[in-house]
Structure 1
Amino acid sequence: MSLSLEEQTRIDLAVAFRIVAHLGMHEAVANHFSAAVSADGKQFLINPKWMHFSRIRASDLLLLNADDASNKDNPQVDATAWSIHGQLHQQLPHVRVAMHLHPVYSTAVSTMENPHIPPIDQNTARYFNRVSVDTMFGGMADTVAEGERLVGLLKNNSRLLMGNHGVMVTGTDIGMAFDDIWTLERACQILVTAWSTGRPLNILSDEVAEKTARDWEKFADFSRQHFEEMKALMIKQDPSVLD
């Protein structure tokens, strides 16, 4: 029996939380992922307030409407989640998935005076001229105005390096978004490790970096299969994610 879009999205999103917990990229009981389940993008699933990623099941995910302002008063909805993801799904119908995290290396890069990811290998080159940067951190993103500001910074990019804060990746499906945020953190790990040597970086030319970034954009099946392999691992490890 085939699953509905919402049922399948619930499973895949719950699995994404488990994978990120397994990889140690979570922030205790903070951070949020969301996924649209309606054609206009305004009906979306998101994790409930302060539930650890490692425990989230498909049935735990909240179904919200981005046009319903009363969600800010729902005790199950985190204020920052509503501010960021509510505005994103209200304003950007093409965004089907959004993942916001504070992983160690990406967040470390976000704290630099000039936050950027220079292309020094094929992972970092994936993000050449393809990441928006926010340098106006003003505290917890818990207002609609702040959500609007952050969403506006994405412009034509699907990634936002949030200065002094963390990262957000958006995508057309959960597999693509997961592989993207995983590779972004790996890229920043490589970058921070290279910086830590104190030696000059051998930065790729713009031509090579652009070619590499375009090659990455051809690998959608690779990204989705990465997710499917991790999904199988998580389900085998703990089938309760499907509940």
Structure 2
Amino acid sequence: MLLADLRAEVAHYARKMYESQLVRATQGNLSARDPASQLICITPSGADYQLLTAEDIIVLDEQGTIIEGKWKPSVETPLHTFILSQRRDINCVMHSHALYTSAFGVAYQPLPMILQESAACLGGDVPIVPYQESGTQAFAELVAQTLGDGPAVIWGNHGAMVVGANLALTFSIAHALEDTAHIYTIARQIGTPVPIPADEVAKLHKHWLESYRQVALDKPVATG
């Protein structure tokens, strides 16, 4: 089987997305690029996340042509391939439907940096992509423009997307995004949330890029 290890890892993290409620039912999608071949492994359309195995993951080329796989790839394939083509610094794209993050997309409120750990990996307020029908090239370009060189965007009236150098980091960033949205919502009920100053966020993010990210990249990721 082509790219068996990477396909198993994508299936593993897709199951983790479901187990941690970043997605529900058949929502969301996940992809990872193999740096050596530049081929992309992506979740199938309408898949039951709890049952996903390596054999269910589709292998595509950079243009979205199926190289190997028995299912139809995610309807968001144009988004994944375009984002990966525009961002050579990352290898993974995760689209989630986490509840609190999605609420910020309904309110069209960018997510401020209120937590030290989240500020370190997110690097700044998370912007909102205006609503547009997804699954199209036009939407992919709109998301890429809003994302810029950042790690995350929230989709208006839909969900969110995070990107990362590998699957472990991408999964962590998705949780940092949801944790921030959740805690901000709770804090609003208590009082007025106080964001971390922008210069401190920049310092935290710089440290994360130079330190924690390199450590994560050097370590193998368990898929058991």
Q: TM-score over 0.5 for the alignment?
A: yes
| Greater gyration radius | 1
Correspondence list, 1:44-55, <5 A:
44-55=40-51
Q: RMSD of the TM alignment (CA)? A: 3.0
Q: Deviations over 1:1-26 (max 9, x none)?
A: xxx99222112111101111111221
Provide the rounded CA distance (Å) in 2 between the counterparts of 1:154 and 1:28.
Answer: 26
2:138 to 135, 142, 145: 145
Q: Shift of the alpha carbon at 1:133?
A: 3.2
| Structure-2 change in CA distance of 1:5 and 1:211 (3 Å) | farther
Q: Shift of the alpha carbon at 1:123?
A: 3.5
Alignment of 1:117 with 2:78, yes or no, is no
Q: Is the 8 A contact 1:118 1:124 kept in 2?
A: no
Runs of 4+ aligned structure 1 residues displaced above 6 Å come to 224-227
Alignment of 1:28 with 2:25, yes or no, is yes
Give the paired residue count. 220
SS at match of 2:94: strand
Alignment of 1:203 with 2:195, yes or no, is yes
TM-score normalised per structure 2: 0.83
| Structure-2 change in CA distance of 1:204 and 1:152 (3 Å) | closer
SS at match of 2:104: helix
2:84 to 76, 85, 89: 89
Q: Deviations over 1:143-199 (max 9, x none)?
A: 2222222123222212222222221111111111111111211121111111133x1
Match of 1:169 in 2: 162
**Which amino acid in structure 2 is aligned with residue 202 of structure 1?**
V
Q: Shift of the alpha carbon at 1:108?
A: 1.2
Q: Deviations over 1:6-56 (max 9, x none)?
A: 222112111101111111221311211001125473x21111111121111
Provide the rounded CA distance (Å) in 2 between the counterparts of 1:48 and 1:169.
Answer: 18
Give identity over the alignment, percent.
Answer: 20
Q: Is the 8 A contact 2:128 2:155 kept in 1?
A: yes
Alignment of 1:16 with 2:13, yes or no, is yes
Provide the rounded CA distance (Å) in 2 between the counterparts of 1:103 and 1:207.
Answer: 28
**Which amino acid in structure 2 is aligned with residue 186 of structure 1?**
D
Match of 1:105 in 2: 100
Q: Is the 8 A contact 1:130 1:157 kept in 2?
A: no
Q: Shift of the alpha carbon at 1:119?
A: 2.5
| Structure-2 change in CA distance of 1:68 and 1:109 (3 Å) | closer
Q: Is the 8 A contact 1:158 1:170 kept in 2?
A: yes
Provide the rounded CA distance (Å) in 2 between the counterparts of 1:125 and 1:86.
Answer: 27
TM-score normalised per structure 1: 0.77
Structure 2 unaligned blocks of 5 or more:
none
**Which amino acid in structure 1 is aligned with residue 131 of structure 2?**
F
**Which amino acid in structure 2 is aligned with residue 143 of structure 1?**
T
Correspondence list, 1:57-72, <5 A:
57-68=53-64
Match of 2:72 in 1: 76
Q: Which has the larger displacement, 45-54 or 119-128? A: 119-128
| Structure-2 change in CA distance of 1:29 and 1:220 (3 Å) | same
Provide the rounded CA distance (Å) in 2 between the counterparts of 1:176 and 1:112.
Answer: 27
Structure 1 unaligned blocks of 5 or more:
236-243
Correspondence list, 1:225-236, <5 A:
228=221, 231=222, 235=224
